[in-house]
Amino acid sequence: GEDVEQSLFLSVREGDSSVINCTYTDSSSTYLYWYKQEPGAGLQLLTYIFSNMDMKQDQRLTVLLNKKDKHLSLRIADTQTGDSAIYFCAESTGEAAGNKLTFGGGTRVLVKP
Protein backbone atom coordinates (compact mmCIF):
# COMPACT_ATOMS: atom_id res chain seq x y z
CA GLY A 1 0.00 0.00 0.00
CA GLU A 2 0.93 3.64 -0.16
CA ASP A 3 2.25 5.40 2.90
CA VAL A 4 4.19 8.64 3.21
CA GLU A 5 5.75 9.62 6.52
CA GLN A 6 7.35 12.80 7.81
CA SER A 7 8.59 14.04 11.14
CA LEU A 8 6.13 16.37 12.85
CA PHE A 9 8.24 19.35 13.76
CA LEU A 10 11.49 21.15 12.94
CA SER A 11 12.92 24.20 14.62
CA VAL A 12 15.68 26.14 12.90
CA ARG A 13 17.51 29.40 13.44
CA GLU A 14 17.18 32.13 10.84
CA GLY A 15 20.05 31.96 8.33
CA ASP A 16 20.71 28.26 8.94
CA SER A 17 19.79 25.47 6.54
CA SER A 18 16.65 23.40 7.11
CA VAL A 19 16.35 19.78 6.07
CA ILE A 20 12.93 18.15 5.99
CA ASN A 21 12.81 14.40 5.49
CA CYS A 22 10.18 12.11 4.05
CA THR A 23 9.92 8.37 3.48
CA TYR A 24 7.53 6.63 1.15
CA THR A 25 6.68 3.04 0.43
CA ASP A 26 5.56 2.83 -3.19
CA SER A 27 8.59 2.02 -5.31
CA SER A 28 6.69 2.77 -8.53
CA SER A 29 6.31 6.48 -7.71
CA THR A 30 6.89 8.58 -10.80
CA TYR A 31 6.86 12.07 -9.31
CA LEU A 32 7.50 13.30 -5.79
CA TYR A 33 6.49 16.73 -4.63
CA TRP A 34 7.01 19.24 -1.88
CA TYR A 35 4.18 21.55 -0.89
CA LYS A 36 4.17 24.47 1.54
CA GLN A 37 1.15 25.55 3.59
CA GLU A 38 1.15 28.88 5.37
CA PRO A 39 -1.40 29.59 8.13
CA GLY A 40 -4.94 29.90 6.84
CA ALA A 41 -3.96 29.08 3.26
CA GLY A 42 -4.05 26.17 0.87
CA LEU A 43 -1.09 24.08 -0.20
CA GLN A 44 1.35 25.67 -2.61
CA LEU A 45 3.54 23.53 -4.85
CA LEU A 46 7.18 24.36 -4.10
CA THR A 47 9.01 21.88 -6.27
CA TYR A 48 8.91 18.36 -7.61
CA ILE A 49 11.35 15.70 -8.74
CA PHE A 50 10.95 13.00 -11.34
CA SER A 51 11.79 9.53 -10.12
CA ASN A 52 14.74 9.06 -12.49
CA MET A 53 16.55 12.02 -10.92
CA ASP A 54 18.44 12.01 -7.65
CA MET A 55 18.78 15.74 -7.13
CA LYS A 56 17.08 18.92 -8.18
CA GLN A 57 18.04 22.45 -7.22
CA ASP A 58 15.82 25.50 -7.48
CA GLN A 59 17.27 28.68 -5.95
CA ARG A 60 17.31 28.09 -2.15
CA LEU A 61 15.64 24.69 -2.46
CA THR A 62 17.45 21.39 -3.00
CA VAL A 63 15.56 18.13 -3.34
CA LEU A 64 17.38 14.85 -2.84
CA LEU A 65 15.86 11.52 -3.80
CA ASN A 66 17.20 8.15 -2.72
CA LYS A 67 15.08 5.61 -4.55
CA LYS A 68 16.82 2.64 -3.01
CA ASP A 69 15.89 3.77 0.50
CA LYS A 70 12.64 5.46 -0.64
CA HIS A 71 13.78 8.65 1.03
CA LEU A 72 13.08 12.21 -0.09
CA SER A 73 14.45 15.36 1.48
CA LEU A 74 14.02 19.10 1.04
CA ARG A 75 16.84 21.40 2.00
CA ILE A 76 16.13 25.11 2.39
CA ALA A 77 19.28 27.21 2.38
CA ASP A 78 19.50 30.46 4.36
CA THR A 79 16.17 29.85 6.06
CA GLN A 80 14.05 32.98 6.57
CA THR A 81 11.18 33.72 8.93
CA GLY A 82 8.87 33.60 5.92
CA ASP A 83 9.77 29.94 5.53
CA SER A 84 7.84 29.13 8.72
CA ALA A 85 5.02 26.89 7.51
CA ILE A 86 3.91 23.29 7.23
CA TYR A 87 5.69 21.31 4.52
CA PHE A 88 4.09 18.29 2.91
CA CYS A 89 5.75 15.70 0.74
CA ALA A 90 3.61 13.74 -1.68
CA GLU A 91 4.06 10.93 -4.17
CA SER A 92 2.29 10.06 -7.38
CA THR A 93 2.38 6.70 -9.00
CA GLY A 94 0.99 8.04 -12.25
CA GLU A 95 -1.93 6.78 -14.26
CA ALA A 96 -2.08 3.41 -12.56
CA ALA A 97 -3.06 5.14 -9.34
CA GLY A 98 -5.76 7.15 -11.02
CA ASN A 99 -3.96 10.46 -10.84
CA LYS A 100 -3.94 10.43 -7.05
CA LEU A 101 -1.34 12.02 -4.82
CA THR A 102 -0.61 10.52 -1.44
CA PHE A 103 0.45 13.12 1.11
CA GLY A 104 2.54 12.84 4.23
CA GLY A 105 1.26 14.22 7.51
CA GLY A 106 3.28 17.42 7.15
CA THR A 107 6.29 18.86 8.98
CA ARG A 108 5.78 22.09 10.86
CA VAL A 109 8.87 24.28 10.45
CA LEU A 110 9.43 27.09 12.91
CA VAL A 111 12.13 29.61 12.07
CA LYS A 112 13.49 31.49 15.06
CA PRO A 113 15.10 34.92 14.61
Partner 1 sequence: ETGVTQTPRHLVMGMTNKKSLKCEQHLGHNAMYWYKQSAKKPLELMFVYNFKEQTENNSVPSRFSPECPNSSHLFLHLHTLQPEDSALYLCASSQEPLGGGGYTFGSGTRLTVV
3-state secondary structure the chain: CCCEEECCEEEEECCCCEEEEEEECCCCCCEEEEEEECCCCCEEEEEEEECCCCEEEECCEEEEEECCCCEEEEEECCCCHHHCEEEEEEEECHHHHCCCEEECCCEEEEEEC
Work out how close the CB of 14 gets to partner 1 at its nearest, in angstroms, rounded to a whole number. Answer: 27
Selected from 24, 104, 107, 109, the binder of partner 1 by CB under 8 A is 104
Say whether residue 87 binds partner 1 (CB under 8 A): no
Say whether residue 80 binds partner 1 (CB under 8 A): no
Say whether residue 9 binds partner 1 (CB under 8 A): no
**Listed ranges 16-24, 61-69, 70-78, 99-107: which one lies at the site for partner 1 (CB under 8 A):** 99-107
